[in-house]
């Protein structure tokens, strides 16, 4: 059976995700002078973009109304 997250958990998770998003954005913009090779640099950039997109989707999911629907469905 599925249950909704408590509001306090959701708030803590949002704060942590916001911090991870800020870190991922910094990582995405940092120069890649320390790494050798264009392929490695492009691979790192691709991974950072995927990570940032996943974090944004996670944040969007936590802000969505999905939890109240799950909670309402569980009480039937």
Tell me: the pLDDT tens digits for 23-63? 999 988 876 655 556 777 888 889 999 999 999 999 998 88
Q: What pLDDT does residue 34 have?
A: 53
Confidence of residue 75 (pLDDT cuts 50, 70, 90): low
- Sequence-distant (6+) residues with CB within 8 A of 58 are 17
- How many Cα atoms occupy the beta-carbon half-sphere of 25 within 13 Å? 8
- Sequence-distant (6+) residues with CB within 8 A of 62 are 5, 10, 13, 14, 17
Neighbours of 67 (CB within 10 A): 19
């Amino acid at each position: 059976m599925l249950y909704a997250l408590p509001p306090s958990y959701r708030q803590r998770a949002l704060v942590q995700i916001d911090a991870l998003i800020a870190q991922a954005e910094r990582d995405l913009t940092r120069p890649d002078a320390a790494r050798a090779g264009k392929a490695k640099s492009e691979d790192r950039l691709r991974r950072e973009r995927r990570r940032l997109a996943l974090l944004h989707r996670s944040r969007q999911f936590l802000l969505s109304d999905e939890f109240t629907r799950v909670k309402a469905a569980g009480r039937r």
